[in-house]
Amino acid sequence: MHMLTSIRTSDGKIEIIDQLLLPHTTKYVEITSIEQAYDAIKDMKIRGAPAIASLASLAFAAYIQTGLDSAQPPAFLLSPESLSTQVIQKLDYLSGARPTAVNLGAAIRRLKAVLQSSIDAGKSVPLIAADLISEGKLIADEDFDRNKRMAEHGGEWLAELDRGSGGSGQELNVLTVCNTGSLATSGYGTALGLITYLHEQKKLGKAYYTQTAPYHQGSRLTALELKTMQVPSVMICDTMVGSLFQHHKIHAVAVGADRIARNGDTANKIGTYNAAVLAARHKIPFIVVAPISTVDLDTPDGSSIPIEHRKPLEACLVRGAVHPFEFDVEGKVRQETVMITPSGLEGIYNPSFDVTPAELITAIVTEKGVAARKEGETSFDLSGVV
């Protein structure tokens, strides 16, 4: 099944799709430095918790490789101490690109741990560098297989849940929020991976998805992925979740995550909490699908998850193409960014994420399996999951 890829690498070259131009323009841009990777993440040319971690790790590995390959080794490669100082400085810089998604932080911690263990083992600078390069590539490479495992765990769990409540385990209608597919990961996706799995197994009825304003991950990205994969799907405005639940049979809500606290409170794209409250009202199972690297055991509950507030202007703009389509000199659809509000608007609230309390979450699906919240419990104990 044809999948879009958020990141592609060949012969040491790293390229990302500029997701600000999707769905009308597919443009790969080369990332040739750590600074460019930082900017691409901050500006949301690439977004999605796992994809962010993958790009940061690949750009870091390329930076170290470039140093090793240079005819005149840079100063930071002259000793383990100078290498350690430079590596920590670059990794700390990358970790500041976006605050909520913990996958980036988890990748940074992994690379720092490899640095320290290689130094403690008394390795030479070239061997320490080689360890860092292979770990950086591994962080990106392991994501795809992990997503396939999560999709199967979650898809089969959902089908069994439906059969257990008298259903057929087929024709399952699932609502998702934002974009959690190949464009948010290194391939296949998390919650959208579960939906893709159900489709592949002929167990999906329809995939429903919210537009997810103001960046419109749903309208622009999830719509493109589902259309590309020819998955039967229905787009709804963010305000229509309640009406959908009132008038249509929805078997589950499946969403991704940017950070899961120790008790199961989950930060995800703004609008997720709304869907969770309405799902509870309509007794619809609400599941979170995310790799273990999204679980942050150092954060006890959702109250201490940092929530990114994007620039107010971003809530006033919509990116797209003039309709009916107009084309530029190269015959490409003309992209436009349109302001939909009066200029100079002052009062704008623009959090990029919200936190869904664990008591509204039915189950958390990771590559290890499905952790269902225990009957009567209002939280999870994820210490045994990660």
| Interface contacts to ligand LNRAV4D5, rule CB under 6 A | 47-50, 178, 180, 184-185, 190, 217, 256, 258, 268-269, 352
The residue with tokens 């810089």 is 93
- Provide the minimum distance between the beta carbon of 170 and ligand LNRAV4D5 in the complex, in angstroms, as a whole number: 26
DSSP for 59-117, please give it.
HHHHHHHHHHHSSS--GGGSSHHHHHHHHHHHHHHHHTS-SS-HHHHHHHHHHHHHHHH
Q: Is the Cβ–Cβ distance between 259 and 350 less than 8 Å?
A: no
- Provide the minimum distance between the beta carbon of 76 and ligand LNRAV4D5 in the complex, in angstroms, as a whole number: 31
Cα dihedral 51, 55, 61, 62 sign: positive
Inter-axis angle of helices 49-69 and 34-42, nearest 10: 170
- Provide the minimum distance between the beta carbon of 171 and ligand LNRAV4D5 in the complex, in angstroms, as a whole number: 25
Of the candidates 342, 353, 377, 349, the residue with the CA atom closest to the CA atom of residue 363: 377
Given the complex with ligand LNRAV4D5, which of 60 and 215 has the nearer CB atom? 215
Of the candidates 162, 147, 131, 156, the residue with the CA atom closest to the CA atom of residue 51: 147
- Provide the minimum distance between the beta carbon of 328 and ligand LNRAV4D5 in the complex, in angstroms, as a whole number: 27
Given the complex with ligand LNRAV4D5, which of 271 and 285 has the nearer CB atom? 271
Given the complex with ligand LNRAV4D5, which of 268 and 356 has the nearer CB atom? 268
CA separation for the pair 118, 131 (Å, rounded): 7
Active site residue 143: no
Inter-axis angle of helices 49-69 and 102-120, nearest 10: 40
Which residues are registered as beta bridge partners of 216? none
Q: Which residue is nearest to ligand LNRAV4D5 (CB)?
A: 256
Q: Where are the alpha helices (DSSP H) in 237-290?
A: 241-247, 272-281
- Provide the minimum distance between the beta carbon of 357 and ligand LNRAV4D5 in the complex, in angstroms, as a whole number: 17
- Provide the minimum distance between the beta carbon of 326 and ligand LNRAV4D5 in the complex, in angstroms, as a whole number: 28
CA separation for the pair 92, 267 (Å, rounded): 22
Half-sphere exposure of 121 (CA within 13 A, CB side): 12
Q: Is the Cβ–Cβ distance between 112 and 91 less than 8 Å?
A: yes
Question: Which of 143, 258, 296, 354 is an active site residue?
Answer: 258
CB atoms within 10 A of CB 163: 12
- Provide the minimum distance between the beta carbon of 46 and ligand LNRAV4D5 in the complex, in angstroms, as a whole number: 8
- Provide the minimum distance between the beta carbon of 308 and ligand LNRAV4D5 in the complex, in angstroms, as a whole number: 8
Given the complex with ligand LNRAV4D5, which of 46 and 159 has the nearer CB atom? 46
| Terminal Cα-to-Cα distance of the chain (whole angstroms) | 31
Given the complex with ligand LNRAV4D5, which of 54 and 118 has the nearer CB atom? 54
Inter-axis angle of helices 102-120 and 80-95, nearest 10: 170
Given the complex with ligand LNRAV4D5, which of 135 and 258 has the nearer CB atom? 258
Of the candidates 316, 322, 312, 319, the residue with the CA atom closest to the CA atom of residue 337: 319
Which residues are registered as beta bridge partners of 235? 209
Q: Is the Cβ–Cβ distance between 245 and 281 less than 8 Å?
A: yes
Given the complex with ligand LNRAV4D5, which of 87 and 104 has the nearer CB atom? 104
- Give the β-pairing of 172-176 and 28-30: unpaired
Q: Is the Cβ–Cβ distance between 103 and 49 less than 8 Å?
A: yes
Positions marked active-site: 258
